[in-house]
Structure 1
């Protein structure tokens, strides 16, 4: 969790002035964690701080806010219609594009009260920057410290057909994914590309494989079996953290044979996962996307990725 500068910038470009409401601190149980945030504008909002009465009241207050920044405290419980029983502190800030562009690009620090930055905050920032480790979102002596969010995973989606589009719809809102989306021509992509997704039309998509980080994850689901095979061949020669191929067991048997003929060992070929998703969910593009997304995001996969990153 971190301060999503890009989401805030895009919201301001689309809606004008935006108020960002973030959970700054909690006591006891809370519907969301410290750092969870929502963006509120005149006739809409995005994100969530936990829903229910807390979010409703915070949204209404954000639309009426006149001060640049405000720190408020809220007891959860029967009187608010929340069952958590704890308490939360909310930091609400009004932003326009100039204010966003003035923010630090790595760690955002601000206070709702006047006064010099406390020594405890200075020490935290110095330690984080010297060690290159982002601090956890936290409220210290009235000062809110949040690392600027940076996606931790590079995901390349090869193919902008029905399943590719469904996958992008499902995965693009997730903040930890930086998605690169590749297909052969611009007209194969939808007119509107979600924020945070880089769409690349390329007459020869496989030629882009060498531009992908070796730590990237790949989902191969183009309109062409020949192109799928070429992408698998290039990926095996390039390296990757994860590669999944859409298809049946029969398709994968044929691909294994052809990839072996291209000089790849059985051990190397086995690094590609096929089929992907959950066939029991059905063949509707959205069902395939749900199954594939679950496979990519399930906790076991996350543990594997963490091991890879620490190796």
Structure 2
């Protein structure tokens, strides 16, 4: 998850004094995981640490924190939540002149008033320079977080109803770096999510060569001809995943046409069509939920494999 320095800077620029609240430890059951965070400013907030009662109580007081605060909250006895666990939380208040900086992709700061960095924390910073994974935690009174990095390049081709539903569903998820392509500026909605890169292009297929070869692609343009050309270009370029919106009959036609363009059956089978979960229906939001679920399941499988091999 990590510390999203860009989101914090945007919030401070827009709202002035901003509090950031992060879960740094859990005992028992909790509505969110370690590293979950929210930003709070006068009259608003973004993000979530889960648990309406916990957020409500914190939002009333966090802007009054002088600088940093480490606190523990028993969710049942203290807040009446049914989770029954307890969470450790770090609260920090930022303004334009107190925005944090990172060292080797890590943000580290004392939360107990200490001015001397412990040897253990110094070693973690050294390990980070060598590419070691940094977990969000408090170590000997010092709070350590890796800077947030998007881990998955997602290219969405088409800004129609389904494209809009997909982008709005997936954009808030921190792991995706979303690039959104269509044929002209007026194809896009007025309000594109902040972290989404919008690319209007008269010939979208010409952009395929600029996509990372580990990118994931969702093809859902208004034109079957453009969909086909995108499939053709992606099979030539390579990708991590490619999903095409359409019926089984559309896919049967595309398979024949892609074969005629020189692609083998093994190559063509790498494209997933139809996308979504047919049980959920064909409403744009239903398709977005189905596609999002498939992408998240895939990432959980990869993460579990990496944990098992570590």
Aligned CA distance change for structure 1 residues 30 and 297 (closer, same or farther; 3 Å): closer
Residues 11-160 of structure 1: pairs in structure 2 closer than 5 A: 11-65=11-65, 67-100=66-99, 102-104=101-103, 106-112=105-111, 113-130=113-130, 132-160=131-159
- Give the secondary-structure state (helix, strand or coil) at the position aligned to 1:267: helix
Question: Under a length normalisation based on structure 1, what TM-score does the superposition of the two structures give?
Answer: 0.92
Query: 1:144-183 maps to which residues of 2 (within 5 A)?
Result: 144-183=143-182
Structure 1 residues 138-197: Cα deviation after superposition (integer angstroms, max 9, x where no partner): 100111100011011000000011110110000000000000000011111111110211
- Per-residue CA shift, 1:33-73, capped at 9, x if unaligned? 221111001001111122232222111111333x1222222
In 1, Cα distance between equivalents of 2:155 and 2:188: 15
Offset at residue 307 of structure 1 (A): 6.5
- Could you tell me which runs of 5 or more consecutive residues in structure 1 were left unpaired when the two chains were aligned: none
Asked if 2 retains the 8 angstrom alpha-carbon contact of 1:139 and 1:145, the reply is yes
Matches within 5 A, 1:178-189: 178-189=177-188
Q: Where does the alignment leave 5 or more consecutive residues of structure 2 unmatched? A: none
Kindly state the Cα deviation for residue 14 of structure 1 after the two structures are TM-superposed.
2.8
Q: Is the 8 A contact 1:278 1:292 kept in 2?
A: yes
Q: Which moved more, 1:95-104 or 1:17-26?
A: 95-104
Partner of 2:252: 253
Q: Superposition RMSD on alpha carbons, in Å? A: 1.9
* Residues 104, 125 of structure 2: 8 Å contact kept: no
Would you say the 8 A contact 1:52–1:81 is kept in 2? no
2:106/2:128 contact within 8 Å kept? no
Alpha carbons of structure 1 residues 195 and 306: separation in structure 2 relative to 1, 3 Å: farther
TM-superposed deviation, 1:231: 0.3
Question: What SS is found at the alignment partner of 1:251?
Answer: helix
* Structure 1 residue 217 corresponds to structure 2 residue 216: yes
Checking the alignment, whether the CA contact within 8 Å between 1:156 and 1:218 is kept in structure 2 is yes
Deviations 1:115-149 (Å, cap 9, x if unpaired)? 2011111111112222x123100100111100011
1:95 CA drift (Å): 1.4
Task: Name which of structure 1's ranges 72-81 and 285-294 shifts more when overlaid on structure 2.
Answer: 72-81
Contact 1:158 1:218 in 2 (8 A): yes
Structure 1 Cα separation of the partners of residues 219 and 75 of structure 2: 46
Count of aligned residue pairs for this structure pair: 306
